[in-house]
Amino acid sequence: MSRTTTTRTAVRGIVAATALAVLLGACSDSETPAPAASSSAPSESASAAEDTGTDACPDQNSITDAAEMETFATVGEVTAAQDEGAAVHGLTWRHYLPLTVTNPLDAACRINVVVSVTGSDDGYMDGGGTVVLEPGQTAELQIFDLDSEFTFDGDSEAAAPTETLAATVHQVSTAPVTHHYDADVEFGEITGEGAAAVLPVTVTKNGVLDDAPEGAGDDILFIEGLDGSGSVVGRFVATPDGSLEVGGTATYDVPATLAGNGDGNGFAYQPLSATEDIVEYRVVLYRPSLLR
């Protein structure tokens, strides 16, 4: 039986003129999908982001000290996956890098991580991801479609790049978290198979908070999925055409996997297999695409 979860919250947003570009642009198009058909049924206790305040998180444009960056992010070794993300590129196996992001600070923060990969034959990629994390919370991400830039010696799980790859956390930035809308958000159960899988999200916009900056443009809804340990294992972005009026309700079918991106309804930044571990969803950004 399908289950849904409903929450009432002053939905957390990020006050930064470039937040939309950072959230969408900094996430590599290589964070790709996984096994075939599956659905995720979060627990009844699922909730959107609670009010954690805006104090203490520094608004740092850039952290480049290697030791300090290591407290925020670490990159793993080249990893292979056989899933719909590989299939969308005409491959049996895709290759990516695992990225672990941690919030070492004492307040909730938006954390953006940029990773660069340099090949010994001059190949190069950069990208990464942006997450909103509570103090001590961790996000497990998959970044880069390595096969699009580097040559591997076969289409198999054991295939290796034909040049030596060096991955480095290039930059970390943080920004405080604040609020924009008061809204009720209901998450349905992921339905569909492979690239067609979607997360139904129903939003009722109750109002604009008194201290919210003036906004313009279409709304954007940024969602994170948490596993049983509280780690972020899924990221979803709804990009509806137009903005919901105050008092209005709308349901968005948000792509549940990167392989489903490009249908105009939004984006996802994980394989479908990762959604099997989600027990809770939270809204970490619901705001206009432009802030004045």
| Residues 57 and 103 sit within 8 Å (Cβ to Cβ) | no
Q: Is residue 68 part of a domain?
A: no
pLDDT of residue 177: 80
What is the SS3 assignment for 87? helix
For the chain, the domain total comes to: 2
State the DSSP string of 22-78.
Answer: HHHHSB-TT----SSS------TT--PPP---S-S---EEEE--HHHHHTTEEE---
- Provide CB contacts within 8 A for 47, sequence distance 6+: 5, 7, 9, 280, 281, 282
Dist CA 252 CA 237 (whole Å): 10
- 194 and 280 belong to one structural domain: yes
- 77 and 158 belong to one structural domain: yes
- 186 and 46 belong to one structural domain: yes
- 270 and 183 belong to one structural domain: yes
- 146 and 80 belong to one structural domain: yes
Which range of residues forms the domain containing residue 26?
5-56+177-291
Note the pLDDT tens digit of each residue in 231-242. 999 999 998 877
Q: Which of 128, 159, 175 is the last residue of a domain?
A: 175
Q: Is residue 64 part of a domain?
A: no
Q: Which of 142, 175, 208 is the last residue of a domain?
A: 175
Q: Is residue 63 part of a domain?
A: no
Domain containing 155 — which CATH number? 2.60.40
Note the pLDDT tens digit of each residue in 88-141. 889 999 999 999 999 999 999 999 999 999 999 999 999 988 899 999 999 999
Q: Is residue 35 part of a domain?
A: yes
Read off the amino acid at residue 13.
G
State the DSSP string of 240-264.
Answer: -SS-PPTT-EEEEEEESSGGGTTSS
Q: Is residue 191 part of a domain?
A: yes
- For the chain, which residues score pLDDT lower than 50? 1-3, 6-54
Whole-model pTM: value is 0.76
Strands 232-238 and 215-226: what pairing?
Answer: antiparallel
pLDDT of residue 23: 37
Nearest to 150 by CA among 137, 139, 160: 160
- 183 and 281 belong to one structural domain: yes
- 195 and 52 belong to one structural domain: yes
- Provide CB contacts within 8 A for 21, sequence distance 6+: none
- 181 and 285 belong to one structural domain: yes
- 232 and 267 belong to one structural domain: yes
- 24 and 154 belong to one structural domain: no
Identify the H or E element spanning 144: none
Q: Is residue 137 part of a domain?
A: yes
pLDDT of residue 292: 74
Q: Is residue 84 part of a domain?
A: yes
- 264 and 275 belong to one structural domain: yes
pLDDT of residue 143: 92
pLDDT of residue 47: 33
pLDDT of residue 163: 97
- 129 and 222 belong to one structural domain: no
Q: Which of 150, 175, 200 is the last residue of a domain?
A: 175
Q: Is residue 249 part of a domain?
A: yes
Torsion of CA 255, 257, 262, 263, to 10 degrees: -30
pLDDT of residue 248: 95
